[in-house]
Structure formats: C-alpha cells, structure tokens
Amino acid sequence: MLNTPQTVAIIMDGNGRWAKKQNLPRTAGHKKGADRVRDIALEAKRLGIQKLILYAFSTENWKRPEDEVSYLCKLPGLFFNKFIQELMDNNIRVTFAGELEKFPENTKAVIRKAVNQTAVNTGMELCLAINYGSQRELVLAMQNYANQVASGQRENDIQEQEVNELLFVQENVDLMIRTSGECRISNFLLWQIAYAELIFTPTPWPDFDEQALQQCIAEYQNRDRRFGGLSNED
C-alpha cells in the first residue's frame, strides 16, 4: 500500500468500559481485547506494516484491583496458546518491550517461549509492551549510558541515534493510535513518537476491527508529514 507507515503503535484502551456497556465483568473485555490483537496483527501484516507495537500492560497497571491484575497476567498464555500457530503461519515475529521480572513465572515463561518460537520468522514484528513505561525506559537508558561513561567505555558524547539504541523500542514511530476516546499518551513511547502522527478514535479496543485500522492508515496517508520543515503550500 502506498505510503504505509512502517512502525505503528497502538494504545489498546477501553476494554473495561466496553465490558461495562455489555453488562459483563471487566475480564470479559480484556479477553475480547486479546482476541482483537490477533485480528489487528494479521491486518497490519497484510497492509505492509513492518512493526506493530501494542501497549499491553503499563507500569501503572499494577495499581488495578488484584483480581484484574491476576487475569491480565494470564492473558499472554491464553493468547499464545490460541494463536501462536497462526502467527507462525503468517511469518510474524513476537518481541516484547518492558521489564518482565515483576510478572509470575508462568507469564514470563509464556512470553519468552513465544519470542523464541517466532524468532525464525522474517515478516512483521509484533512487539508487546508489557510492564512498560516510557519514563522508566528513559531512566534505565540514562543509567546505562552514565555507567558506560563512568567506567571509561565511552566518552560523554552521545548523539540522538545512540539514545534510540539504549531504549526498549529503537524505532521511531510513524503512527500512534489510541482507542476509546481518551486524548493522552499515558507514558507510552515518549521519545519514539517525537514526529509520529497521532490518531485518537472513540472506538473501544474490543470493537477496533480491520476496517477501523484501514481508516486510520488512510487518515495517516492524507497527512502532510513535514518533520519541522515546510510543505509545498507554505
């Protein structure tokens, strides 16, 4: 597809509100949202997107009720048990961004198994941001860099591209989408979205289907990305 964004990030918001409107428990919304990941990943691959980054679990999500957090920790297992073969069949490679250490052993094992199993794939990268927070990511990057300078491994001469290399997500984002009507970034990829196009859609994540993604891509293609320069009309 002409002018397809190479790196797309999505804040998958609205599972709980969707469930409430259906008179269902919040966990039902999370389950429906996990199934939607499969649909959007396959459609993103079909559209020619190279990397899809999904905000699956933030560093702030630990503040939610214990039973909801417990269910969220089980979702990777439910998702990969159901869809891993389909990801393999579509040559999709799974990666993650964030700190896994805080998760239960079963959750960590499931995610690492999916990463290892799909490592041979050469198609689209499906990156799950799990226990991810952009401010935390930047702090860890600064600590890493400071340690390198202090130990004499390098001079204090870092450049912008080298900052990218110290982060969980090293690509610049072309398009960021947030579902369910909220118009904020919520500590997601703050460095990487410096010149991303932003789309905030009222559609909750469980209802964000292939057509909704196509509409976002079409809107992106109609925008004039100047990166601080001038357009032909200026």
In order of 104, 159, 161, 205, the CA distances from 167 in angstroms are 24, 13, 10, 27
61 is catalytic: yes
Sign of CA dihedral 223, 209, 124, 185: positive
Distances (CA, A) of 123 to 14, 88, 116: 29, 10, 15
Given 13, 15, 131, 174, the catalytic residue = 13
d(CA 167, CA 164): 5
In 5-133, where does DSSP find H-type helix?
Answer: 15-21, 26-47, 66-89, 105-118
Helix (H, G, I), strand (E, B) or coil at 93: strand
Whose CA is closest to 96, among 68, 76, 70? 76
The active-site residue out of 15, 35, 39, 61 is 61
Q: Which amino acid is residue 190, in one-letter code? A: L
Residue 13: active-site member = yes
Tokens of 99: 């700190």
Hey, what amino acid is at 217? I
- Per the structure block, which two tokens stand in for 155? 């001079």
Q: Residue 8: which H helix or E strand, with range?
A: strand 7-11
Catalytic residues: 13, 61
